[in-house]
Structure 1
């Protein structure tokens, strides 16, 4: 006996009320991801073993191994959240990704708190700048209703170039400097435009968790490099 499979429609095929409901769920989950990240980060920073281990992984090939592991976790989380129809699996994937982000942020946030003059105030400044940019870029997409999918090729090339520079920096031991961080902020901004534009073109009404994961990843990338820029000036 054949089962009736209900067809899935993309957001751009649905009424405005359905799209608004999807946006609410997506950005609520992004906000929840940020709160979970703060909680994970606080708990991880309480452990000297975790802090010492993460600092021991900051040099040369160890950093590349850590970065490679993070990329594998990110790819697993994104693919699981997108392909699985089980909400529990989607939440698990989102949670794993948030924990991975919190772990890789440990050295940077520890240094921001303990090795800069501004300390925790610097984190607040970075958070405000990041959220302001994220909100502004998202508003551009919603207000103009422009399709930013054309950015995909440029973003892909940009990330490969950035990855190559990071690998070269780790191998040869040179600092990528302030302008690299500025360029990465621009790349993160482009990713936010692309991800936000894709909300109606890529996802169905039930895909608010993978949509939130993608936006959260772009938000954290922007936060990383905004914080690095502010730390370099402190």
Structure 2
């Protein structure tokens, strides 16, 4: 998980109620902006035909998706570092923008397929994601418990999940409903962890980095809910 910059602002848990409320409000406003930007970029990529061409490229070789995943991990690391920058706000926003763009590119094939085969499933996935995020957010803010202990668990679980995904690509087996279900639970825990950090761990000037972390977790949850629903549709 990302390391927090300790040189700017006050830790949210130690800040005044006014500072804390302002930080949380800015974080969720930036999250909303990131989601709107993601939708706009995704729509442009699909309508321009880039998504279809990208899908054909991926279908041409099983190794292409591994390359895309590797590039996404590198870009995500750079974007997160920029978003945590204490140098300038411009660098922080550049990190958030870079991550939104990378996320839109990675989501292109899945959303294109969903729109082509079952557009209703996409709407259901969005609704279920919003409901789960709302429930997790309510839990985090009402209990006020610090879920920082989830960090190491998520790191280990993420490495295991990545290994399984890579193995499925190399050996050609499908992951199926069970894996998607497990990953939904994993992503929900990641949303809880990110939300808890917003309440307890971040500094009051790190709203851009906090929104990136939350956007990443929500995106992961949406990805596997959509995968799960599409797998169900395929089994019918």
Normalising to structure 1: TM-score of the pair? 0.92
Shift of 1:7: 7.0
2:32 is aligned to 31
1:105 is aligned, of 104, 107, 113, to: 107
Once structures 1 and 2 are overlaid, which stretch shifts more, 84-93 or 165-174? 84-93
Report the Cα distance in structure 1 between the residues aligned to 2:85 and 2:216, rounded to whole angstroms.
18
Shift of 1:57: 2.2
Report Cα offsets for 1:141-198 as digits up to 9, x if no partner.
Answer: 1100111111112111110110000010010011011111111111111111111111
Report the Cα distance in structure 2 between the residues aligned to 1:145 and 1:175, rounded to whole angstroms.
39
2:142 is aligned to 143
Asked if the contact 1:148–1:194 (Cα under 8 Å) also holds between the matched residues in 2, the reply is yes
Output aligned runs, 1:173-192, within 5 Å: 173-192=172-191
2:21 is aligned to 20
Is residue 152 from structure 1 mapped to residue 151 from structure 2 by the alignment? yes
Q: Which runs of 5+ in 1 are unaligned?
A: 1-5
1:194 is aligned to 193
Once structures 1 and 2 are overlaid, which stretch shifts more, 51-60 or 190-199? 51-60
Asked if the contact 2:184–2:221 (Cα under 8 Å) also holds between the matched residues in 1, the reply is yes
Report the secondary structure of 2:32's partner residue: helix
Asked if the contact 2:54–2:109 (Cα under 8 Å) also holds between the matched residues in 1, the reply is no
1:3 is aligned to none
1:42 is aligned to 43
Q: How many residues align?
A: 226
Structure 1 segments, 4+ long, off by >4 Å, are none
Once structures 1 and 2 are overlaid, which stretch shifts more, 200-209 or 22-31? 200-209
Asked if the contact 2:76–2:99 (Cα under 8 Å) also holds between the matched residues in 1, the reply is yes
The CA RMSD over aligned residues, in Å, is 1.5
1:214 is aligned to 213
Once structures 1 and 2 are overlaid, which stretch shifts more, 56-65 or 149-158? 56-65
Report Cα offsets for 1:98-120 as digits up to 9, x if no partner.
Answer: 0111111111011101123xx2x
2:10 is aligned to 9
